[in-house]
Structure 1
């Protein structure tokens, strides 16, 4: 049977997900080595060009205007974006992701703002991706014309659990944006957040939904919830590292060619735990002390960890991105 499939059943994914953990990791690691260089780690950076004041009520997000969090609305100038991108490039990053908080990426003013940044960053020799909320067919084709490398749009969780996460948009709208991106021929990434009160069945169904897209995501970012004070999910218990490993390994088996990103929440776990995630197929991490509004590993910590494991940061040839809008 071919490794690359788009017709997984829930029971098939459940059987994989529930394998004994070491058997699951071994299977995922073998597939990872078949399709990727296990000595390489993709590095990426995220620049929040428009932060906060979001109208959505996503219960995990510090950027929602509905919650009293530490995040203050901010909009970066083009000059500041280029400055941050230059620093990232000097530290080996080849791809920059622009994040703009808000529901609607179709607004002409916001779209034009992102379009200018994409154009200027490409002049620097950087690959550029973005996350900017819902995208219709027209704007998807315009992004393709701009030469966007990829677009992020996370599905967050399963369709069943989604109404417990947000009420201001629907799961169908999320999937529609993914369909619009695929129709325009744009590489896309889509993943989710673990630890938002979902159960194993929800995680299985989220991964199955992604694996059954017409085209697999070029990247699946898997995040461990970072509970932010002021949001409804503040105080939730961090999921265990073995739960992260199980999700990462399952994603690797279902989508062999996809880059799997161990995104937000790495600060929860030991170096040994992170190493187990890499063994299970995670081959992308984020560079920089902040991921949008939450703490990330420091640059020095990551350099030390990769050095200890014999992993080499490499040119980012596939998508790695995180969405918090």
Structure 2
């Protein structure tokens, strides 16, 4: 790795980041790759396994989501999984090289009830394996965040999805400010933050950059920044959106890498529609984590099988990142 690292900034402007985003593509990727190599091992990719522990029936109206109860989709619905089932999934993921295990529940917000008690038990169980434990459960209070931290939670995922200006075009059941408040509660509890966005919602380049600017000007950058390509789900309002252009993904990942050099930038949803060549460009631009899921699923959308991912990484000369906790 390069010994001298660039200074981490928290004073980026939208104009600066938009100029970076619009650089000639090869120059942009070269710059991002150089930054990446000064902060990270370029041959390592963290495998993070995502499991839906409670699926469907969500009261939110996120226009991209197959788990929203108001849309007629073919997405499955199931109640909260037993802790033993979740632990078995985590063990299988760990055996295949995952160092991070994220549990997702299709809730608008965490409620202080028996289901939350069970999620706390899941966190304790997976933490006992020595994995980084992450949850995404919707909005949560400061007290709930602290309880999760005390149970051994390492990270909480709460994506911004898009810019503050475009947000209202895709969600009306919670505000952009609500999302920032939850992220604040996560920080106050001493948890690490996982927060990014979705590309392909109909937003402009300026919206993508504005979303990244919100993250990059936080007092502490999110330790994890997922960049998702829209997975088009039949029955949702965004089902007919065009496939995300790979160069839009590359530019967004590269800009995130330059603005937040220390963060893990996660190549997240939408990989099923990307070739190995296209994913390789994303890794070159600074992505150093992917989400995996059992049964070639990422929550309710298709995802490459984990064995196929391992084959691809080996072909590219990449290897699973080892955990600092192991």
TM-score category of the 2 structures, normalised to the smaller one: over 0.9
Deviation at 1:72, TM superposition (A): 2.6
Q: Are the counterparts in 2 of residues 43 and 316 from structure 1 also a CA contact under 8 Å?
A: no
| 1:51 and 2:58 matched | no
Structure 1 gaps, min length 5:
319-325
Deviation at 1:44, TM superposition (A): 1.1
Q: Are the counterparts in 2 of residues 60 and 165 from structure 1 also a CA contact under 8 Å?
A: yes
Aligned match of 1:315: 322
Aligned match of 1:181: 186
Structure 1 residues 272 and 317: CA distance shift in structure 2, 3 A? farther
Of 250-259 and 263-272, the range deviating more from structure 2: 263-272
Deviation at 1:80, TM superposition (A): 1.2
Which secondary structure state, in structure 1, belongs to the residue aligned with residue 279 of structure 2? Answer: helix
| 1:301 and 2:303 matched | no
Of 260-269 and 80-89, the range deviating more from structure 2: 80-89
- Once residues 143 and 79 of structure 1 are traced to their aligned partners in structure 2, the CA distance between those partners, rounded to angstroms, is 19
Q: Are the counterparts in 1 of residues 46 and 99 from structure 2 also a CA contact under 8 Å?
A: no
Aligned with 1:109 (options 114, 131, 134): 114
Aligned with 2:18 (options 11, 14, 21): 14
Structure 1 residues 163 and 147: CA distance shift in structure 2, 3 A? same
Deviation at 1:124, TM superposition (A): 2.6
Q: Are the counterparts in 1 of residues 131 and 323 from structure 2 also a CA contact under 8 Å?
A: no
| 1:72 and 2:76 matched | yes
Q: Are the counterparts in 2 of residues 43 and 315 from structure 1 also a CA contact under 8 Å?
A: no
- Once residues 139 and 28 of structure 2 are traced to their aligned partners in structure 1, the CA distance between those partners, rounded to angstroms, is 35
Equivalent residues in 2 for 1:107-256, closer than 5 Å: 107-256=112-261
Q: Give the paired residue count.
A: 318
Aligned match of 2:9: 5
Listed one character per residue, the Cα deviations across residues 48-106 of structure 1 (whole Å, up to 9, x for unaligned) are 11000000000100000000111232021112111211211221212211101111124
Aligned match of 1:321: none
Aligned with 1:292 (options 281, 299, 319): 299
| 1:29 and 2:33 matched | yes
Q: Are the counterparts in 2 of residues 68 and 230 from structure 1 also a CA contact under 8 Å?
A: yes
Q: Are the counterparts in 1 of residues 297 and 303 from structure 2 also a CA contact under 8 Å?
A: yes
- Once residues 277 and 104 of structure 1 are traced to their aligned partners in structure 2, the CA distance between those partners, rounded to angstroms, is 32
Of 126-135 and 215-224, the range deviating more from structure 2: 126-135
Listed one character per residue, the Cα deviations across residues 99-141 of structure 1 (whole Å, up to 9, x for unaligned) are 0111112433332121010111122332211000001111111
Q: Are the counterparts in 1 of residues 123 and 148 from structure 2 also a CA contact under 8 Å?
A: no
| 1:95 and 2:105 matched | no
The runs of at least 4 aligned residues of structure 1 exceeding 3 Å deviation read: none
Of 80-89 and 38-47, the range deviating more from structure 2: 80-89
Which secondary structure state, in structure 2, belongs to the residue aligned with residue 74 of structure 1? Answer: coil
Over aligned residues, Cα RMSD in angstroms?
1.4
- Once residues 120 and 144 of structure 1 are traced to their aligned partners in structure 2, the CA distance between those partners, rounded to angstroms, is 13
Listed one character per residue, the Cα deviations across residues 220-251 of structure 1 (whole Å, up to 9, x for unaligned) are 00010011011111111011111100000000
Provide TM-score, normalisation by structure 1. 0.95
Deviation at 1:209, TM superposition (A): 0.3
Provide TM-score, normalisation by structure 2. 0.94
Deviation at 1:287, TM superposition (A): 2.4
